[in-house]
Structure 1
Amino acid sequence: MSESLNAELVKDFVYHAHADLEKIKELLEKDPGLLNASWNWGNGDWETALGAAAHMGKRDIALFLLEKGARIDIFAAAMLGKLEIVKAIIEDDPEKIHIGPHTIPLIAHAKAGGEESLQVVRFLETFQR
């Protein structure tokens, strides 16, 4: 049986993943179990550190977390410009285009990625016509 994570540490980790790479490194060093932990901001709005980095367009944080073994999702894939992953998921279930943490749509995640995710933005725009 594994030990539970400290709830406040999980909350801090997800919170800082919105903008602070150095703090993320520090917290992950303190407890590697945080890597795929998620925090419920309320009403079932669960978020991981990778998810936080994805909607903020924090490529450096997202890449660091993925390098450490975080599980990629469609939102991080969109922000990072991983078109083939996004296409595969949307082609399997087109309704995924409408969902997003904090009610942020998938296309906003792609736009947060800037130039590197422009192909994903263009792909997602074809569903909005």
Structure 2
Amino acid sequence: MFAKELSGIPDDEWSEWGGNFEKPYGEGTSKSVVDSNDCEFRLYFKGLVSQESVNGKTVEFSGIGVAICGPTDNVIFELKKPLIGDRMNKNAVEIKALIEGLNAALSLELKRVQFLTDYFPLYQFVSNSIPH
């Protein structure tokens, strides 16, 4: 429901107040859905880097996607945006996506968040399982 509300905000209104958003649940509602000790949110994120040929020149594009799902796997927050600036490698883009997702989780005041990635180098780094 929260994701639908966000997607329905007109672009001019969104640009006026930026990335500030409201908590998806009212006071205490998450406790009525699931016991707060069992309540775990999932953060899915992805960074993408692509090289395309435009008018004979190679151009690099990058962007990120973030989704936070609630205890019943319903999407409560979604973000998709391009990354502007210097060329970035895959590691940097994946880390930016993770940071955006964690910032959103903090803003939503989520207590427990499990994050999921399919990018093994980042998983190794975060879980401290890089071979020495």
TM-score class, shorter: 0.3 to 0.5
Higher strand share: 2
TM-score normalised according to structure 2 size: 0.32
Task: Tell me which of the two structures has the higher relative contact order, counting C-alpha pairs closer than 8 angstroms and 6 or more residues apart.
Answer: 2
TM-score normalised according to structure 1 size: 0.32
